[in-house]
Chain A
Amino acid sequence: MAQDVRIEVETRNNDVTDSELVCLRGVSKLYEKRGSESIRALSAVDLAIREGEIVALLGPSGCGKSTLLKIAGGLYEPTEGEITIAGDRVEGPSRHVGMMFQTPALLPWLTVLENALLPVRVRRQSRKRAKQKAMEYIHLVGLGGFEHRYPNELSGGMQQRAGICRMLMSDPVVLLMDEPFGSLDELTREYMDVELRSIVRREGKTAILVTHSVQEAVFVADRVVVMTSRPGRIAGDVEIHLEGDRGSDLLDSEALLLYCRKARALLDSASGAQS
Protein backbone atom coordinates (compact mmCIF):
# COMPACT_ATOMS: atom_id res chain seq x y z
CA MET A 1 0.00 0.00 0.00
CA ALA A 2 1.00 3.65 0.15
CA GLN A 3 4.44 3.50 1.70
CA ASP A 4 4.84 7.26 1.82
CA VAL A 5 2.31 7.58 4.60
CA ARG A 6 4.07 7.58 7.90
CA ILE A 7 2.20 5.85 10.64
CA GLU A 8 1.86 8.12 13.55
CA VAL A 9 0.15 6.24 16.25
CA GLU A 10 -1.24 8.95 18.39
CA THR A 11 -1.76 6.89 21.46
CA ARG A 12 -4.14 9.19 23.12
CA ASN A 13 -4.14 8.69 26.80
CA ASN A 14 -6.51 5.84 27.47
CA ASP A 15 -5.70 6.01 31.15
CA VAL A 16 -8.86 6.58 32.95
CA THR A 17 -9.74 9.84 34.57
CA ASP A 18 -13.07 10.85 36.02
CA SER A 19 -13.83 13.26 33.22
CA GLU A 20 -14.34 10.42 30.76
CA LEU A 21 -17.89 9.30 30.13
CA VAL A 22 -17.16 5.71 29.16
CA CYS A 23 -14.25 3.88 30.73
CA LEU A 24 -13.07 0.34 30.08
CA ARG A 25 -10.28 -0.82 32.34
CA GLY A 26 -8.37 -4.02 31.63
CA VAL A 27 -11.30 -5.73 29.97
CA SER A 28 -10.62 -9.36 28.98
CA LYS A 29 -12.93 -12.03 27.69
CA LEU A 30 -12.24 -15.74 27.73
CA TYR A 31 -14.55 -18.27 26.13
CA GLU A 32 -14.30 -21.58 27.93
CA LYS A 33 -14.73 -24.55 25.68
CA ARG A 34 -15.11 -27.99 27.12
CA GLY A 35 -12.45 -30.44 25.93
CA SER A 36 -10.30 -27.81 24.25
CA GLU A 37 -8.32 -24.72 25.08
CA SER A 38 -10.31 -21.69 26.07
CA ILE A 39 -10.35 -18.89 23.52
CA ARG A 40 -9.17 -15.45 24.50
CA ALA A 41 -11.41 -13.03 22.62
CA LEU A 42 -10.21 -9.86 24.30
CA SER A 43 -7.02 -9.13 26.14
CA ALA A 44 -6.66 -6.30 28.65
CA VAL A 45 -8.46 -3.59 26.74
CA ASP A 46 -8.28 -0.04 28.11
CA LEU A 47 -10.45 2.52 26.46
CA ALA A 48 -11.68 5.91 27.59
CA ILE A 49 -14.24 7.96 25.72
CA ARG A 50 -14.98 11.63 26.31
CA GLU A 51 -18.48 12.98 26.47
CA GLY A 52 -19.76 13.86 23.01
CA GLU A 53 -17.03 11.90 21.27
CA ILE A 54 -17.80 9.50 18.42
CA VAL A 55 -15.43 6.55 18.43
CA ALA A 56 -15.19 3.85 15.76
CA LEU A 57 -13.86 0.43 16.69
CA LEU A 58 -12.19 -0.83 13.54
CA GLY A 59 -10.82 -4.31 13.04
CA PRO A 60 -10.99 -7.50 11.02
CA SER A 61 -13.90 -9.82 11.64
CA GLY A 62 -13.37 -12.01 14.65
CA CYS A 63 -11.20 -9.48 16.47
CA GLY A 64 -13.65 -9.20 19.31
CA LYS A 65 -14.89 -5.68 18.56
CA SER A 66 -18.53 -6.75 18.74
CA THR A 67 -17.79 -8.61 21.96
CA LEU A 68 -16.20 -5.47 23.38
CA LEU A 69 -19.24 -3.41 22.43
CA LYS A 70 -21.65 -5.88 23.99
CA ILE A 71 -19.56 -5.95 27.14
CA ALA A 72 -19.77 -2.16 27.25
CA GLY A 73 -23.55 -2.49 26.80
CA GLY A 74 -23.73 -4.91 29.71
CA LEU A 75 -25.01 -7.75 27.54
CA TYR A 76 -21.91 -9.90 28.06
CA GLU A 77 -19.90 -10.15 31.21
CA PRO A 78 -16.16 -9.52 30.99
CA THR A 79 -13.86 -12.22 32.39
CA GLU A 80 -11.65 -9.51 33.86
CA GLY A 81 -11.77 -5.75 34.10
CA GLU A 82 -14.53 -3.24 34.66
CA ILE A 83 -16.62 -0.76 32.74
CA THR A 84 -18.10 2.47 33.97
CA ILE A 85 -20.55 4.69 32.15
CA ALA A 86 -21.22 8.16 33.53
CA GLY A 87 -19.60 7.04 36.75
CA ASP A 88 -21.86 3.99 37.18
CA ARG A 89 -20.27 0.59 37.12
CA VAL A 90 -21.80 -1.53 34.36
CA GLU A 91 -23.21 -4.77 35.74
CA GLY A 92 -25.78 -5.72 33.18
CA PRO A 93 -27.65 -3.56 30.67
CA SER A 94 -27.47 0.08 31.64
CA ARG A 95 -30.19 2.68 31.29
CA HIS A 96 -27.59 5.08 29.92
CA VAL A 97 -27.13 2.96 26.81
CA GLY A 98 -29.00 2.68 23.51
CA MET A 99 -28.02 -0.07 21.14
CA MET A 100 -28.13 -0.93 17.45
CA PHE A 101 -27.34 -4.36 16.09
CA GLN A 102 -26.10 -5.92 12.85
CA THR A 103 -29.72 -6.62 11.94
CA PRO A 104 -32.43 -4.00 12.52
CA ALA A 105 -33.99 -6.41 15.08
CA LEU A 106 -37.38 -4.79 14.58
CA LEU A 107 -40.42 -6.73 15.73
CA PRO A 108 -42.23 -7.55 12.46
CA TRP A 109 -45.71 -7.48 14.02
CA LEU A 110 -45.29 -3.86 15.16
CA THR A 111 -45.42 -0.75 13.00
CA VAL A 112 -42.45 1.61 12.72
CA LEU A 113 -44.00 3.86 15.36
CA GLU A 114 -44.74 0.95 17.72
CA ASN A 115 -41.19 -0.33 17.27
CA ALA A 116 -39.79 3.11 18.04
CA LEU A 117 -41.94 3.23 21.18
CA LEU A 118 -40.65 -0.14 22.42
CA PRO A 119 -38.20 1.35 24.98
CA VAL A 120 -41.02 3.47 26.40
CA ARG A 121 -43.31 0.45 26.55
CA VAL A 122 -40.71 -1.67 28.34
CA ARG A 123 -40.17 1.11 30.88
CA ARG A 124 -43.93 1.44 31.37
CA GLN A 125 -43.80 5.17 30.70
CA SER A 126 -46.68 7.07 29.19
CA ARG A 127 -46.85 6.19 25.51
CA LYS A 128 -49.02 9.18 24.71
CA ARG A 129 -46.40 11.67 25.76
CA ALA A 130 -43.60 9.75 24.05
CA LYS A 131 -45.49 9.51 20.78
CA GLN A 132 -44.76 13.09 19.81
CA LYS A 133 -41.05 12.60 20.42
CA ALA A 134 -41.09 9.36 18.45
CA MET A 135 -42.72 11.14 15.52
CA GLU A 136 -40.01 13.81 15.67
CA TYR A 137 -37.30 11.16 15.44
CA ILE A 138 -39.16 9.35 12.67
CA HIS A 139 -39.15 12.56 10.66
CA LEU A 140 -35.54 13.24 11.63
CA VAL A 141 -34.36 9.94 10.11
CA GLY A 142 -36.48 10.53 7.02
CA LEU A 143 -39.21 7.99 7.70
CA GLY A 144 -42.02 10.56 7.82
CA GLY A 145 -45.17 9.02 6.34
CA PHE A 146 -43.97 5.48 7.07
CA GLU A 147 -44.80 5.48 10.78
CA HIS A 148 -47.75 3.10 10.35
CA ARG A 149 -45.96 0.73 7.98
CA TYR A 150 -44.69 -2.66 9.04
CA PRO A 151 -40.95 -3.54 8.85
CA ASN A 152 -41.36 -6.02 5.97
CA GLU A 153 -42.75 -3.17 3.86
CA LEU A 154 -39.48 -1.25 4.25
CA SER A 155 -36.07 -1.59 2.60
CA GLY A 156 -33.03 -2.64 4.63
CA GLY A 157 -31.84 0.95 4.94
CA MET A 158 -35.24 2.17 6.08
CA GLN A 159 -35.40 -0.61 8.65
CA GLN A 160 -32.12 0.54 10.18
CA ARG A 161 -33.47 4.11 10.20
CA ALA A 162 -36.32 2.81 12.32
CA GLY A 163 -33.64 1.14 14.45
CA ILE A 164 -31.99 4.54 14.96
CA CYS A 165 -35.34 5.97 16.12
CA ARG A 166 -35.81 3.18 18.61
CA MET A 167 -32.25 3.64 19.93
CA LEU A 168 -32.83 7.37 20.44
CA MET A 169 -36.18 6.77 22.14
CA SER A 170 -34.49 5.01 25.03
CA ASP A 171 -33.03 8.45 25.76
CA PRO A 172 -29.46 7.16 26.08
CA VAL A 173 -26.30 8.99 27.02
CA VAL A 174 -24.16 6.58 25.01
CA LEU A 175 -25.01 4.98 21.68
CA LEU A 176 -23.50 1.57 21.02
CA MET A 177 -23.75 0.42 17.41
CA ASP A 178 -22.60 -2.97 16.19
CA GLU A 179 -22.00 -2.78 12.42
CA PRO A 180 -25.50 -1.40 11.94
CA PHE A 181 -25.08 -0.87 8.20
CA GLY A 182 -22.95 -3.94 7.51
CA SER A 183 -25.64 -5.70 5.51
CA LEU A 184 -26.57 -2.70 3.36
CA ASP A 185 -25.23 -2.04 -0.10
CA GLU A 186 -22.32 0.38 -0.27
CA LEU A 187 -24.25 3.38 -1.62
CA THR A 188 -26.97 3.07 1.00
CA ARG A 189 -24.35 2.60 3.67
CA GLU A 190 -22.54 5.81 2.70
CA TYR A 191 -25.84 7.64 2.77
CA MET A 192 -26.68 6.25 6.19
CA ASP A 193 -23.21 7.17 7.51
CA VAL A 194 -23.73 10.81 6.53
CA GLU A 195 -27.06 10.90 8.33
CA LEU A 196 -25.89 8.95 11.33
CA ARG A 197 -23.02 11.35 11.94
CA SER A 198 -25.25 14.41 11.67
CA ILE A 199 -27.95 12.90 13.91
CA VAL A 200 -25.50 11.85 16.62
CA ARG A 201 -23.91 15.32 16.51
CA ARG A 202 -27.28 17.07 16.54
CA GLU A 203 -28.44 15.06 19.54
CA GLY A 204 -25.09 15.63 21.24
CA LYS A 205 -24.63 11.97 22.02
CA THR A 206 -21.52 9.98 22.76
CA ALA A 207 -21.19 7.00 20.47
CA ILE A 208 -19.21 3.85 19.75
CA LEU A 209 -19.54 2.43 16.26
CA VAL A 210 -18.18 -1.03 15.50
CA THR A 211 -17.25 -1.49 11.85
CA HIS A 212 -14.93 -3.36 9.52
CA SER A 213 -15.10 -0.61 6.92
CA VAL A 214 -12.14 1.78 7.03
CA GLN A 215 -14.06 4.45 5.15
CA GLU A 216 -17.07 4.21 7.44
CA ALA A 217 -14.89 4.42 10.54
CA VAL A 218 -12.98 7.46 9.34
CA PHE A 219 -16.05 9.26 8.03
CA VAL A 220 -18.29 8.83 11.06
CA ALA A 221 -15.84 8.98 13.93
CA ASP A 222 -13.83 11.63 15.72
CA ARG A 223 -11.38 8.91 16.67
CA VAL A 224 -10.76 5.53 15.10
CA VAL A 225 -9.59 2.84 17.47
CA VAL A 226 -7.89 0.03 15.57
CA MET A 227 -8.02 -3.48 16.97
CA THR A 228 -5.95 -6.58 16.29
CA SER A 229 -7.38 -10.05 16.23
CA ARG A 230 -7.01 -13.10 18.45
CA PRO A 231 -6.84 -11.97 21.09
CA GLY A 232 -8.53 -8.64 20.50
CA ARG A 233 -6.23 -5.80 21.52
CA ILE A 234 -6.13 -2.12 20.82
CA ALA A 235 -3.38 -1.41 18.30
CA GLY A 236 -3.70 2.35 18.33
CA ASP A 237 -5.89 5.36 17.59
CA VAL A 238 -6.24 7.69 14.67
CA GLU A 239 -7.73 11.06 15.53
CA ILE A 240 -9.81 12.48 12.72
CA HIS A 241 -9.60 16.25 12.43
CA LEU A 242 -12.00 17.36 9.74
CA GLU A 243 -13.45 20.84 9.89
CA GLY A 244 -17.15 21.59 9.71
CA ASP A 245 -20.07 19.37 8.91
CA ARG A 246 -19.33 16.13 7.20
CA GLY A 247 -21.46 15.82 4.08
CA SER A 248 -21.39 13.25 1.32
CA ASP A 249 -18.97 15.50 -0.65
CA LEU A 250 -16.35 14.59 1.94
CA LEU A 251 -16.60 10.88 1.07
CA ASP A 252 -14.19 11.05 -1.87
CA SER A 253 -12.12 13.97 -0.61
CA GLU A 254 -8.34 13.93 -0.35
CA ALA A 255 -8.45 14.63 3.38
CA LEU A 256 -10.65 11.63 4.10
CA LEU A 257 -8.51 9.43 1.89
CA LEU A 258 -5.42 10.42 3.84
CA TYR A 259 -7.01 9.38 7.10
CA CYS A 260 -8.22 6.16 5.50
CA ARG A 261 -4.63 5.34 4.50
CA LYS A 262 -3.46 6.11 7.98
CA ALA A 263 -6.04 3.83 9.56
CA ARG A 264 -5.39 1.15 6.95
CA ALA A 265 -1.63 1.27 7.59
CA LEU A 266 -2.22 0.88 11.31
CA LEU A 267 -4.58 -1.99 10.63
CA ASP A 268 -2.05 -3.69 8.34
CA SER A 269 0.87 -3.29 10.69
CA ALA A 270 -1.26 -4.56 13.55
CA SER A 271 -2.39 -7.69 11.73
CA GLY A 272 1.13 -8.12 10.29
CA ALA A 273 2.51 -8.25 13.79
CA GLN A 274 0.02 -10.98 14.57
CA SER A 275 0.71 -13.41 11.75
Chain B
Amino acid sequence: MKGALRPRLVFERFRGLLTFVVSLVVVLVVWQWAAVTERVSPLILPKPTAIWDELLFFFDNFFSGVGYWRHTWVTVQEMLLGFAIASASAFVLGTLVSEFRMVREVVTPYAVALNATPKVAFVPVFIVWLGFGMAPKVLVAALIAFFPVFVNTITGMHSIHVEQVELLRSLRASRWQTFRILKLFNSLPFVFAGLKTAMVLSVIGAIVAEFGGASEGLGYLIRQSSSRLRADQVFAYITVLSVLGYVLFDLISRVERKVVFWVDRTHQSQAVTS
Protein backbone atom coordinates (compact mmCIF):
# COMPACT_ATOMS: atom_id res chain seq x y z
CA MET B 1 0.00 0.00 0.00
CA LYS B 2 2.66 2.42 1.07
CA GLY B 3 4.82 1.62 -1.92
CA ALA B 4 1.91 2.27 -4.25
CA LEU B 5 1.32 5.67 -2.68
CA ARG B 6 4.90 6.83 -2.96
CA PRO B 7 5.07 8.14 -6.56
CA ARG B 8 1.95 10.17 -5.92
CA LEU B 9 3.45 11.69 -2.79
CA VAL B 10 6.64 12.56 -4.67
CA PHE B 11 4.55 14.23 -7.33
CA GLU B 12 2.62 16.20 -4.69
CA ARG B 13 5.83 17.36 -3.12
CA PHE B 14 7.34 18.77 -6.30
CA ARG B 15 4.05 19.87 -7.77
CA GLY B 16 4.68 23.59 -7.23
CA LEU B 17 8.13 23.42 -8.78
CA LEU B 18 6.83 21.42 -11.74
CA THR B 19 4.05 23.92 -12.42
CA PHE B 20 6.57 26.73 -12.34
CA VAL B 21 9.01 25.03 -14.73
CA VAL B 22 6.25 24.18 -17.21
CA SER B 23 4.88 27.74 -17.18
CA LEU B 24 8.40 29.16 -17.56
CA VAL B 25 9.10 26.96 -20.59
CA VAL B 26 5.79 27.99 -22.19
CA VAL B 27 6.50 31.70 -21.63
CA LEU B 28 10.05 31.43 -23.00
CA VAL B 29 8.96 29.46 -26.07
CA VAL B 30 6.21 31.96 -26.93
CA TRP B 31 8.61 34.83 -26.30
CA GLN B 32 11.32 33.28 -28.49
CA TRP B 33 8.78 32.61 -31.23
CA ALA B 34 7.50 36.20 -31.14
CA ALA B 35 11.04 37.55 -31.33
CA VAL B 36 12.35 35.19 -34.05
CA THR B 37 9.37 35.80 -36.34
CA GLU B 38 9.88 39.53 -35.61
CA ARG B 39 6.28 40.07 -34.59
CA VAL B 40 7.92 42.34 -32.07
CA SER B 41 11.07 44.27 -33.04
CA PRO B 42 14.25 42.86 -31.41
CA LEU B 43 15.03 46.44 -30.42
CA ILE B 44 12.04 46.31 -28.13
CA LEU B 45 11.91 42.65 -27.18
CA PRO B 46 15.15 40.67 -27.56
CA LYS B 47 15.20 36.91 -28.03
CA PRO B 48 15.57 34.93 -24.80
CA THR B 49 18.49 33.10 -26.42
CA ALA B 50 20.19 36.45 -27.11
CA ILE B 51 19.71 37.46 -23.46
CA TRP B 52 21.17 34.11 -22.45
CA ASP B 53 24.24 34.74 -24.65
CA GLU B 54 24.71 38.15 -23.06
CA LEU B 55 24.42 36.59 -19.60
CA LEU B 56 27.12 34.07 -20.53
CA PHE B 57 29.30 36.91 -21.80
CA PHE B 58 28.68 38.80 -18.56
CA PHE B 59 29.91 35.93 -16.42
CA ASP B 60 32.79 35.05 -18.81
CA ASN B 61 34.00 38.61 -18.41
CA PHE B 62 33.19 38.87 -14.72
CA PHE B 63 36.75 38.90 -13.39
CA SER B 64 38.71 39.00 -16.67
CA GLY B 65 38.17 41.05 -19.83
CA VAL B 66 35.58 43.74 -19.22
CA GLY B 67 35.66 43.06 -15.49
CA TYR B 68 31.97 43.20 -14.69
CA TRP B 69 32.68 42.41 -11.06
CA ARG B 70 33.68 46.05 -10.57
CA HIS B 71 30.27 47.32 -11.74
CA THR B 72 28.44 44.68 -9.75
CA TRP B 73 30.45 45.39 -6.62
CA VAL B 74 29.82 49.15 -6.87
CA THR B 75 26.07 48.62 -7.08
CA VAL B 76 26.07 46.02 -4.30
CA GLN B 77 27.98 48.42 -2.05
CA GLU B 78 25.54 51.24 -2.77
CA MET B 79 22.59 48.99 -2.02
CA LEU B 80 23.98 47.48 1.15
CA LEU B 81 25.31 50.76 2.55
CA GLY B 82 22.02 52.49 1.79
CA PHE B 83 20.12 49.61 3.34
CA ALA B 84 22.30 49.56 6.46
CA ILE B 85 22.10 53.31 7.03
CA ALA B 86 18.34 53.30 6.41
CA SER B 87 17.66 50.30 8.71
CA ALA B 88 19.76 51.55 11.60
CA SER B 89 18.49 55.12 11.52
CA ALA B 90 14.86 54.08 10.91
CA PHE B 91 14.93 51.63 13.82
CA VAL B 92 16.48 54.13 16.22
CA LEU B 93 14.25 57.00 15.13
CA GLY B 94 11.15 54.77 15.09
CA THR B 95 11.93 53.69 18.66
CA LEU B 96 12.45 57.27 19.83
CA VAL B 97 9.24 58.37 18.12
CA SER B 98 7.20 55.65 19.81
CA GLU B 99 8.78 56.19 23.23
CA PHE B 100 8.97 59.99 23.48
CA ARG B 101 6.08 62.27 22.75
CA MET B 102 8.35 65.24 22.16
CA VAL B 103 10.29 63.40 19.44
CA ARG B 104 7.04 62.20 17.91
CA GLU B 105 5.66 65.73 17.69
CA VAL B 106 8.82 67.04 16.06
CA VAL B 107 9.47 64.18 13.64
CA THR B 108 5.96 63.20 12.48
CA PRO B 109 5.21 66.17 10.16
CA TYR B 110 8.56 65.83 8.41
CA ALA B 111 8.19 62.08 8.10
CA VAL B 112 4.71 62.40 6.61
CA ALA B 113 5.86 65.05 4.13
CA LEU B 114 9.00 63.18 3.11
CA ASN B 115 7.12 59.90 2.76
CA ALA B 116 4.70 61.52 0.31
CA THR B 117 7.60 62.89 -1.75
CA PRO B 118 8.94 60.78 -4.63
CA LYS B 119 12.46 60.23 -3.31
CA VAL B 120 14.08 59.71 -6.73
CA ALA B 121 13.27 63.34 -7.53
CA PHE B 122 16.19 64.19 -5.25
CA VAL B 123 18.70 62.40 -7.50
CA PRO B 124 19.77 65.48 -9.53
CA VAL B 125 20.11 67.55 -6.36
CA PHE B 126 22.17 64.90 -4.58
CA ILE B 127 24.49 64.62 -7.56
CA VAL B 128 25.04 68.40 -7.44
CA TRP B 129 25.71 68.13 -3.70
CA LEU B 130 27.76 64.97 -3.56
CA GLY B 131 29.26 64.47 -7.04
CA PHE B 132 29.23 61.47 -9.36
CA GLY B 133 30.65 58.95 -6.90
CA MET B 134 28.85 56.42 -4.71
CA ALA B 135 27.64 58.89 -2.08
CA PRO B 136 24.48 60.21 -3.83
CA LYS B 137 23.45 56.64 -4.75
CA VAL B 138 23.84 55.46 -1.17
CA LEU B 139 21.81 58.43 0.01
CA VAL B 140 18.94 57.77 -2.41
CA ALA B 141 18.94 54.06 -1.58
CA ALA B 142 18.84 54.93 2.14
CA LEU B 143 16.08 57.49 1.68
CA ILE B 144 13.82 55.06 -0.17
CA ALA B 145 14.55 52.16 2.19
CA PHE B 146 13.99 54.25 5.33
CA PHE B 147 10.21 54.41 5.51
CA PRO B 148 9.15 50.77 5.61
CA VAL B 149 11.51 50.13 8.53
CA PHE B 150 10.48 53.34 10.27
CA VAL B 151 6.74 52.72 9.98
CA ASN B 152 7.03 49.04 10.96
CA THR B 153 9.18 49.82 13.98
CA ILE B 154 6.57 52.25 15.28
CA THR B 155 3.75 49.80 14.56
CA GLY B 156 5.65 47.00 16.30
CA MET B 157 6.40 49.08 19.38
CA HIS B 158 2.73 50.02 19.70
CA SER B 159 1.11 46.68 18.98
CA ILE B 160 1.69 45.13 22.37
CA HIS B 161 -0.92 43.03 24.07
CA VAL B 162 -2.65 45.03 26.83
CA GLU B 163 -2.28 42.20 29.33
CA GLN B 164 1.45 41.90 28.70
CA VAL B 165 1.79 45.58 29.54
CA GLU B 166 -0.39 45.15 32.63
CA LEU B 167 1.68 42.15 33.66
CA LEU B 168 4.89 44.19 33.58
CA ARG B 169 3.17 47.04 35.40
CA SER B 170 1.95 44.62 38.08
CA LEU B 171 5.56 43.43 38.47
CA ARG B 172 6.52 47.07 38.92
CA ALA B 173 8.83 47.11 35.93
CA SER B 174 10.43 50.43 35.07
CA ARG B 175 9.82 52.06 31.72
CA TRP B 176 13.26 51.00 30.52
CA GLN B 177 12.60 47.41 31.65
CA THR B 178 9.25 47.38 29.86
CA PHE B 179 11.04 48.52 26.72
CA ARG B 180 13.91 46.06 27.00
CA ILE B 181 11.90 43.03 28.09
CA LEU B 182 8.70 43.54 26.11
CA LYS B 183 8.54 46.25 23.45
CA LEU B 184 11.91 45.64 21.82
CA PHE B 185 11.23 41.95 21.17
CA ASN B 186 7.61 42.56 20.31
CA SER B 187 8.63 44.95 17.53
CA LEU B 188 11.08 42.54 15.89
CA PRO B 189 8.63 40.63 13.64
CA PHE B 190 7.37 43.95 12.33
CA VAL B 191 10.88 45.32 11.92
CA PHE B 192 11.85 42.31 9.81
CA ALA B 193 8.83 42.79 7.57
CA GLY B 194 10.08 46.34 7.07
CA LEU B 195 13.66 45.18 6.44
CA LYS B 196 12.54 42.83 3.68
CA THR B 197 10.73 45.63 1.90
CA ALA B 198 13.66 47.98 2.50
CA MET B 199 16.12 45.52 0.96
CA VAL B 200 14.18 45.45 -2.32
CA LEU B 201 13.66 49.21 -2.28
CA SER B 202 17.35 49.94 -1.73
CA VAL B 203 18.11 48.10 -5.00
CA ILE B 204 15.66 50.41 -6.78
CA GLY B 205 17.21 53.46 -5.12
CA ALA B 206 20.76 52.58 -6.13
CA ILE B 207 19.84 51.80 -9.76
CA VAL B 208 17.69 54.89 -10.30
CA ALA B 209 20.41 57.07 -8.78
CA GLU B 210 22.94 55.53 -11.17
CA PHE B 211 20.65 56.41 -14.06
CA GLY B 212 20.94 60.02 -12.91
CA GLY B 213 24.68 60.11 -13.47
CA ALA B 214 27.37 57.51 -12.86
CA SER B 215 30.55 56.13 -14.36
CA GLU B 216 30.20 52.60 -13.04
CA GLY B 217 27.63 50.20 -11.64
CA LEU B 218 24.91 47.99 -13.10
CA GLY B 219 22.57 50.96 -13.49
CA TYR B 220 25.28 52.72 -15.45
CA LEU B 221 25.68 49.63 -17.69
CA ILE B 222 21.92 49.50 -18.31
CA ARG B 223 21.92 53.12 -19.41
CA GLN B 224 24.93 52.62 -21.68
CA SER B 225 23.42 49.56 -23.40
CA SER B 226 20.07 51.26 -23.63
CA SER B 227 21.50 54.24 -25.47
CA ARG B 228 23.18 51.81 -27.87
CA LEU B 229 19.79 50.09 -28.36
CA ARG B 230 21.14 46.80 -27.00
CA ALA B 231 17.95 45.53 -25.39
CA ASP B 232 19.49 42.06 -25.03
CA GLN B 233 22.24 43.46 -22.78
CA VAL B 234 19.74 45.53 -20.80
CA PHE B 235 17.69 42.42 -20.11
CA ALA B 236 20.79 40.47 -19.12
CA TYR B 237 21.74 43.14 -16.54
CA ILE B 238 18.16 43.25 -15.27
CA THR B 239 18.30 39.48 -14.81
CA VAL B 240 21.51 39.84 -12.78
CA LEU B 241 19.88 42.54 -10.66
CA SER B 242 16.77 40.49 -10.04
CA VAL B 243 18.82 37.47 -8.95
CA LEU B 244 20.87 39.76 -6.69
CA GLY B 245 17.70 41.21 -5.17
CA TYR B 246 16.30 37.75 -4.61
CA VAL B 247 19.45 36.48 -2.91
CA LEU B 248 19.55 39.43 -0.52
CA PHE B 249 15.82 39.11 0.23
CA ASP B 250 16.26 35.41 0.92
CA LEU B 251 19.20 36.15 3.20
CA ILE B 252 17.08 38.44 5.35
CA SER B 253 14.26 35.91 5.42
CA ARG B 254 16.69 33.31 6.75
CA VAL B 255 17.97 35.67 9.43
CA GLU B 256 14.35 36.52 10.27
CA ARG B 257 13.42 32.88 10.81
CA LYS B 258 16.36 32.50 13.20
CA VAL B 259 15.78 35.70 15.14
CA VAL B 260 11.98 35.84 15.44
CA PHE B 261 11.61 32.08 15.82
CA TRP B 262 8.49 32.43 17.95
CA VAL B 263 6.34 33.93 15.21
CA ASP B 264 3.78 31.64 13.66
CA ARG B 265 4.62 31.86 9.96
CA THR B 266 0.96 31.99 9.00
CA HIS B 267 0.48 35.16 11.04
CA GLN B 268 3.46 36.99 9.68
CA SER B 269 1.43 38.92 7.13
CA GLN B 270 0.01 41.06 9.93
CA ALA B 271 3.06 43.30 9.76
CA VAL B 272 2.72 46.49 7.78
CA THR B 273 4.39 46.60 4.41
CA SER B 274 4.43 50.21 3.37
Q: A107 near B185 (CB under 8 angstroms)?
A: yes
Task: Report B184 CB to chain A, min CB distance, Å.
Answer: 10
Interface string of A99-113 (1 = CB under 8 A from B): 101110101110000
Listed by A's residue number, 15 A-B pairs whose Cβ atoms lie within 8 Å are A70-B166, A75-B170, A93-B169, A93-B172, A99-B170, A103-B161, A103-B163, A105-B164, A107-B185, A109-B185, A109-B260, A119-B171, A122-B181, A123-B171, A170-B171
A119 — nearest CB in chain B belongs to which residue? B171
Q: Is residue B85 contacting chain A, with contact meaning CB distance below 8 A? A: no
Bound form: Cα–Cα A75–B168 in Å: 10
Q: A122 near B173 (CB under 8 angstroms)?
A: yes
Q: Is residue B100 contacting chain A, with contact meaning CB distance below 8 A? A: no
Bound form: Cα–Cα A119–B171 in Å: 6
Instruction: State the majority secondary structure of interface residues on B.
Output: helix
Q: B264 near A152 (CB under 8 angstroms)?
A: yes
Q: Is residue A168 contacting chain B, with contact meaning CB distance below 8 A? A: no
Residues of A near B167 (CB, < 8 A) are 99, 101, 105, 118
Residues of B near A75 (CB, < 8 A) are 166, 169-170
Q: Is residue A231 contacting chain B, with contact meaning CB distance below 8 A? A: no
Q: Is residue A89 contacting chain B, with contact meaning CB distance below 8 A? A: no
Q: Is residue B177 contacting chain A, with contact meaning CB distance below 8 A? A: yes
Q: How many residues of chain B are within 8 Å of chain A by beta carbon?
A: 20
Q: A107 near B163 (CB under 8 angstroms)?
A: no
Residues of B near A103 (CB, < 8 A) are 161, 163
Q: Is residue A121 contacting chain B, with contact meaning CB distance below 8 A? A: yes
Q: Is residue B244 contacting chain A, with contact meaning CB distance below 8 A? A: no
The bracket for how many chain A residues form the interface is 20 to 34
Query: Measuring CB to CB, which residues of chain B are less than 8 angstroms from any residue of chain A?
Result: 161, 163-164, 166-173, 177, 181-182, 185, 260-264
Instruction: State the majority secondary structure of interface residues on A.
Output: loop
Which of B161, B171, B181, B182 sits near A93, CB closer than 8 Å? Answer: B171
Task: Report B181 CB to chain A, min CB distance, Å.
Answer: 7
Q: A107 near B181 (CB under 8 angstroms)?
A: yes
Interface string of A7-37 (1 = CB under 8 A from B): 0000000000000000000000000000000
Residues of A near B264 (CB, < 8 A) are 152
Task: Report B265 CB to chain A, min CB distance, Å.
Answer: 11
Bound form: Cα–Cα A212–B270 in Å: 32
Bound form: Cα–Cα A103–B160 in Å: 13
Task: Report B147 CB to chain A, min CB distance, Å.
Answer: 26
Question: Given A101-B166, A102-B163, A122-B177, does the pair A107, B171 have CB atoms closer than 8 Å?
Answer: no
Residues of B near A151 (CB, < 8 A) are 262
Bound form: Cα–Cα A109–B182 in Å: 10
B167 — nearest CB in chain A belongs to which residue? A105
Bound form: Cα–Cα A93–B173 in Å: 10
Q: A118 near B171 (CB under 8 angstroms)?
A: yes
Which of A102, A108, A122, A150 sits near B171, CB closer than 8 Å? Answer: A122
Which of B164, B166, B169, B263 sits near A107, CB closer than 8 Å? Answer: B164
Q: A101 near B262 (CB under 8 angstroms)?
A: no
Residues of A near B170 (CB, < 8 A) are 73-75, 93, 97-99
Bound form: Cα–Cα A19–B5 in Å: 74
Q: A95 near B172 (CB under 8 angstroms)?
A: yes
Task: Report A94 CB to chain B, min CB distance, Å.
Answer: 8
Task: Report B77 CB to chain A, min CB distance, Å.
Answer: 34
Bound form: Cα–Cα A209–B260 in Å: 35
